[in-house]
């Protein structure tokens, strides 16, 4: 029960940060800082989703705490370069808040914690699966993009389809996670073999860039799948 609550809080954060926040919001926030209306709107969305996914309607303070801390963390982030390091620090800050809220809620003296058993929400395993797919589709896309950005800027995109690499990465991580959860590890080998059929460009750095992105994509999908699988043992 307590673990399910923590996972729901995490899913609420992932949806707020990576589904309900567009790139234009992020750019506008970095350009205008504390005066950006999207900074505060995004914080309110994060707080509302955390409160909604908790299902503890008498704990309205969850909305306020998550919204305010989200605004403060994102507001401080705009002072720094938008790179892998700032991304990880930003996410670590949000997850610390989530963990703190969770610890406060599951206080054994809390009377409303019993309400969780009556909430009409799926059990732990389904939330783990939902969370795993959200992680590999959105946060992993952002993380891999930031890691490979310095190499992507060195190659020409004239011959590439718009967002093709991003969608290829999402699809391959989706398939790998599915194979891991189903324990069909041989299918992962077939996927790797199928992708090897792709002929890398004669330009060496393009091939190296694609290979780095592919290995990162495969690695994070397998790790997320293995972590999710631990909940089913």
Residue 207 has pLDDT above 50, yes or no: yes
Query: What is the distance between the alpha carbons of residues 69 and 97, in angstroms, rounded to a whole number?
Result: 7
Q: From residue 42, how far is each of 66, 121, 146 by CA, in Å? A: 11, 25, 21
Tokens of 193: 């073999």
Lowest mean pLDDT among 82-86, 92-96, 209-213: 209-213
Q: Which comes out higher in pLDDT, residue 36 or 116? A: 36
Q: Give the percent of the chain with pLDDT over 90.
A: 41
For the chain, the domains span: 2-121, 141-230
Query: Residues of the chain with pLDDT > 70: what percent?
Result: 83
Give residue 118's pLDDT. Answer: 47
- pTM exceeding 0.75: no
The pLDDT value given to residue 194: 66
- Give the torsion through C-alpha atoms of 14, 16, 22, 25, to 10 deg: -130
The region, left, alpha or beta by phi > 0 then psi within -120 to 50, assigned to residue 203 is beta
pLDDT band at residue 166 under the 50/70/90 scheme: confident
219 or 124, which is more confident?
219
196 or 76: which carries more pLDDT confidence? 76
Say what the pLDDT of residue 69 is. 97
The burial class, CB within 10 Å (0-12 / 13-18 / 19+), for 122 is exposed
Over the stretch 111-158, which tens digit does the pLDDT of each residue have? 555 555 544 345 678 888 999 999 999 899 889 988 988 887 777 655
Residue 80 has pLDDT above 90, yes or no: no
Q: CA 128, CA 11: separation in Å to the nearest integer?
A: 9
Q: What is the mean pLDDT of residues 169-193?
A: 85
pLDDT at 84 exceeding the cut of 60: yes
């Amino acid at each position: 029960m307590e673990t399910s609550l923590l996972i729901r809080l995490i899913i609420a954060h992932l949806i707020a940060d990576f589904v309900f926040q567009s790139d234009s919001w992020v750019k506008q926030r970095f350009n205008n800082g504390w005066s950006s209306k999207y900074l505060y709107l995004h914080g309110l969305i994060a707080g509302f989703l955390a409160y909604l996914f908790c299902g503890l309607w008498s704990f309205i303070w969850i909305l306020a705490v998550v919204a305010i801390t989200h605004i403060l963390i994102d507001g401080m982030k705009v002072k720094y370069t938008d790179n892998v390091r700032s991304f990880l620090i930003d996410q670590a800050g949000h997850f610390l808040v989530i963990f703190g809220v969770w610890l406060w809620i599951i206080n054994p003296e809390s009377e409303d914690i019993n309400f969780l058993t009556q909430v009409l929400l799926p059990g732990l395993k389904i939330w783990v699966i939902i969370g795993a797919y959200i992680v590999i589709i959105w946060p992993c896309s952002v993380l891999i993009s930031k890691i490979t950005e310095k190499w992507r800027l060195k190659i020409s995109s004239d011959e590439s389809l718009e967002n093709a690499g991003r969608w290829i990465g999402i699809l391959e991580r989706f398939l790998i996670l599915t194979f891991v959860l189903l324990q069909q590890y041989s299918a992962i080998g077939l996927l790797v073999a199928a992708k090897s059929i792709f002929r890398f460009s004669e330009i060496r750095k393009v091939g190296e860039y694609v290979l780095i992105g592919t290995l990162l994509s495969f690695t994070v999908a397998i790790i997320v799948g293995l972590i999710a699988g631990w909940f089913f043992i």
